[in-house]
Amino acid sequence: MVVRNAAVPAARRIEFRMGVNVGDIIIEEGDIFGDGVNIAARLEALAEPGGICISAATHEQVRDKLDFSFEDMGEQQVKNIARPVRVYRVRPKSPLPNPPPHAGEGSARSVRVGAAATELPLPEKPSLVVLPFQNLTGDTEQEYFVDGMVEEITTAIARLPRLFVIARNSAFTYKAEAVDVKRVAQELGVR
């Protein structure tokens, strides 16, 4: 969906949220319920649009088996669950592949960066990427606000028809990393 959305205007994008938990469930008369299901539903609500949040139990099962990074969001108190749940945000270790070509103005794109990456040609129109902001408050609760600001700025700029803007998901692969702006510009194909 991220690759598909990169070539779609913001108002027409489909962005799923996912919550994944490993736990006991009860199946009765075609319905599924129990704490295992409730926790997964609460994790989904904590995920950002297009994002995935997993429980600590899930993290233990997959952390060394999948090519993703996991951002510890700490313990979260969630509705109808007595004890706090440790939550991890799932992030790709590298940017996502190029989306299909799109003729629309002001569209965003994602690119793949890594060993197989080649320098991307610069688009005809002015191009940019909004890199993730660093949360300097020391308050992890403000991380959502910081990430939301970057997302809002990226979305607003992508609506301008004369600019080419790299998708937020590609930019966020540089989060919490000291970056060389010239290297990022070459890897993402922006001026």
pLDDT band at 94 (very low <50, low <70, confident <90, very high): low
pLDDT of amino acid 136:
87
Instruction: Work out how many domains the chain is built from and give that number.
Output: 2
Taking CA atoms, 171 is separated from 38, 60, 95, 109, in Å, by: 32, 27, 8, 10
Domain span holding position 82: 18-92
Using the predicted structure, report yes or no on whether residue 77 has a pLDDT greater than 80.
Answer: yes
- Let me know if residue 148 belongs to a domain: yes
On whether the CB atoms of residues 96 and 110 are closer than 8 A, the answer is: yes
Q: pTM to 2 decimals?
A: 0.48
- Let me know if residue 178 belongs to a domain: yes
- Let me know if residue 6 belongs to a domain: no
Same domain, yes or no, for 24 and 69? yes
- Let me know if residue 7 belongs to a domain: no
Percent of the chain at pLDDT > 70 equals 84
Same domain, yes or no, for 86 and 149? no
Taking CA atoms, 23 is separated from 34, 77, 157, in Å, by: 9, 17, 42
- Cα–Cα distance, 189 to 121 (Å, whole number): 6
Domain at 74, CATH number: 3.30.70.1230
pLDDT of amino acid 184:
84
